[in-house]
Chains A and B, each alone.
Chain A
Amino acid sequence: MIGVLARLAQDTGDGILVPAEPIQAGVTQIATPEIQWVALLPHLILVVGGILLLTIASLFRHRVPRWAYTIYTVAVAAGAIIAALPLWVRVQDAERGPFSAIAGALGVDGFSIFITVIICAGVILTALLADGYLKREGIDGPELFVLLLLAASGGTIMASANDLIVLFLGLEILSISVYVMAAMHARRFTSLEAGMKYFILGAFSSAFFLYGIALVYGASGSTNMIRINQYLASPTGVVLSENGLLLGGFALLLVGFGFKVAAVPFHAWAPDVYQGAPTPVTAFMASAVKAGGFAAMLRVFVLTFGTFSGDWQPVVFALAVLSLLVGSVLAIVQTNVKRMLAYSSIAHAGFILVGVEVATEQGTAAALFYLAAYTFMVVGSFAVITVVGRKGDGHHELSDYRGLARRQPVLAFVFTILLLAQAGVPFTAGFFAKFYVISAAVDAENYSLAIIAMVSAVIAAFLYLRIMISMYMSTDSEAVTGEPDRVPVPLAAGIALFVACVVTVVIGFVPGPITDLANDAVPFLVQVG
């Protein structure tokens, strides 16, 4: 700290920090950038909504019923979506188009708005799911909802950051909130363990990510993605392809992103954390956190470092192939359903990485469609796991699902649809998600990646079938030993399940609207004028 200050003082001495024109005593002027509040509105609604909830809950702790927190959270997230809609209209308007806000720190384009809506949808579904969970587990308090809203604001900031430092701040707002959420169920030691593991590895990866930012800053002279992009596209930037500093920065940034989106070989934390965290939090991690991570990755690599795609594509290729294969193969050997879906989410990350690797507009649109579809599929799946987990959140073995179809046919049917969607069966959202990603790879003439993705889809299908078989088949010995009671499905969780299931099926039959939106959600780096 002292070193930093000393350095500052020295720089002032060198004349670096002294403005060109002499300043009259007492009238120091700092040029503050114009702040476009409208552009900030979705983020502000989430942040202020979270802080307001914390204040209200602290003041009237025992006078507010729990369901009020849920409704409030859903309303705030819906408000953020509504605030994002006028921005979408403005961005898609041919005359006005996308723009950069606050001196180029924040980009407002179709891409950032699309991800904002996905993340808010994830928040709404998770909040509905958490309502019944908190009641069942006897965890009182609105902290989970506060953290949910704050984490969502971090995710939306990541998706719209036009500056690497802003992106880092968004990443940390998201991550730090989720560390606490993972450890929320403090009576279960596994939850604390999950929180601690996620924290140590998350902080570790953040440090790598930050070091990557520092090296890119050193190589290009700015942390602003607009200026980095211009610099790299200029003739001096081309010379940089020999520059180890820049390539080192790419590598470290990829390590950081790899950890955040749980891509192999940086996936080691994911199964443990997904298994130990409260199940609604797991749903949030698999949907919104992943969406935020991939949004930032697309923004940084495909958009900003697009001119250097030849340098980073081989690494992303390796990450994608490893995630696809390791994720789906290791998922099969698990016996814990939560762990199975954790590994399957690693395989899904591999599919989205295919969309990143091709580095085309088509690939970006395919990745966005995948994220949108996956959010509903995975939150729905974890909703079933939440209710089947029973009190204590511990019944997640494959054997706990035995005979579920006989006891609760509707729940089993819904789970079947969601699992089929994850497997990529036609007439579900999952089919088109995989189809678009693979066709983007084929159109980019990346046939090997497309084939590996298809093989991985086949391997992963076996895993989903395995869960379905245990739901629909039950041996006679099970019936003799006595079977567990029906699990109650809380109303809010039922709504979340219904919405997730309906969206998954409707997208499967009519993918057109979402496809069009994903195609319009193009990221831009707009020069600040």
Chain B
Amino acid sequence: MNGGVDAAYLVLGAVLFAIGAAGLLVRRNLLVMFMCVELMLNAVNVTFVAFASALGDIGGQVAVFFVLVVAASEVVVGLALIVAIMRRKPGATADDISLMKG
């Protein structure tokens, strides 16, 4: 079944996903963390397209467009939140938004 998958694409997707996940956990800049999430989503897109191509099924390619739309709407909300936070605390990093603990 998966004989047709070019493993290189899957590895590329996995590596991109890992870079995104690691970046989100390591970086403190809100914008960079946000970009890492986008990287993770696009890594999944690569995986989807690789599988769609191997399976000869258009479903995976269509899924990519849905993911792009979702990513775009996440950008809208995410940037609005970052702007709202930056107005209150200019130059805030992830360490600055930790009033609540426990």
A contact set with B: CB distance below 8 Å:
1, 3-4, 7-8, 10-11, 16-17, 165, 168-169, 172, 176, 179-180, 183, 186, 189-190, 192-197, 199-200, 203-204, 206-207, 210-211, 213-215, 217-219, 221-224, 236, 245, 271-272, 275-276, 334, 336, 339
Contact = CB atoms under 8 A, between A and B. Distances in A.
Contacts of A186: 84
B40 A207 contact: yes
A289 to B, nearest CB: 16
13 contacts: A11-B52, A192-B84, A192-B88, A196-B81, A204-B37, A206-B70, A207-B40, A213-B44, A214-B60, A218-B47, A236-B1, A271-B100, A336-B102
Given A176-B73, A222-B59, A200 B88 contact: no
Contacts, number: 146
B73 A172 contact: yes
Nearest to A276: B100
Nearest to B43: A211
B67 A223 contact: no
Contact of A200 (B24, B48, B70): B24
Contacts of A222: 57, 59
Interface in B31-81: 33-34, 37, 40-41, 43-64, 66-68, 70, 73-74, 77-78, 80-81
B37 A203 contact: yes
Contacts of B78: 199, 203
9 smallest A-B Cβ distances: which pairs? Answer: A207-B40, A218-B51, A214-B47, A203-B37, A193-B97, A272-B100, A210-B44, A172-B70, A16-B56
A93 to B, nearest CB: 32
Interface residues of B, number: 59
Contact of A1 (B51, B63, B68): B68
A1 B44 CA distance: 13
Given A169-B66, A176-B73, A223-B59, A4 B45 contact: yes
B61 A8 contact: yes
A185 to B, nearest CB: 11
Nearest to B58: A17
B66 A217 contact: no
A11 B20 contact: no
A169 B70 contact: yes
A168 B40 contact: no
A428 to B, nearest CB: 29
Contact of A165 (B34, B56, B63): B63
Given A271-B100, A334-B102, 6 more contacts: A4-B64, A179-B77, A183-B84, A200-B37, A211-B47, A213-B63
A203 B73 CA distance: 11
Interface of B: 1-2, 5, 10, 13, 17, 20-21, 24, 30, 33-34, 37, 40-41, 43-64, 66-68, 70, 73-74, 77-78, 80-82, 84-85, 88-89, 94, 97-102
Contacts of B1: 219, 221, 236
B99 A189 contact: yes
A30 to B, nearest CB: 12
A219 B58 contact: no
Contacts of B43: 211
A199 B83 CA distance: 14
B47 to A, nearest CB: 4
Contacts of B60: 214, 217, 223
Contacts of A211: 17, 40, 43-44, 47
B53 A183 contact: no
A393 to B, nearest CB: 13
Contacts of B46: 3
A203 B1 CA distance: 31
Contacts of B48: 214, 217
Contacts of B34: 200, 203
A339 B78 CA distance: 25
B53 A7 contact: yes
B2 to A, nearest CB: 7
Best-buried of B13, B43, B88, B102 by chain A (most CB within 10 Å): B102
Interface centre among B1, B61, B62, by most chain A C-beta atoms within 10 angstroms, is: B1
Contacts of B52: 11
A201 B13 CA distance: 21
Contact of A176 (B74, B94, B97, B99): B74
Contacts of B24: 200, 204
Nearest to A218: B51
B98 to A, nearest CB: 8
Contacts of B84: 183, 186, 192
A302 to B, nearest CB: 24
B28 to A, nearest CB: 12
Contacts of B49: 3-4, 7
Nearest to A195: B81
Residue among B46, B67, B68, B81 having the largest count of chain A Cβ atoms under 10 Å: B81
A222 B62 CA distance: 12
A213 B1 CA distance: 17
Contacts of B13: 214
A204 B40 contact: yes
A11 B70 CA distance: 24
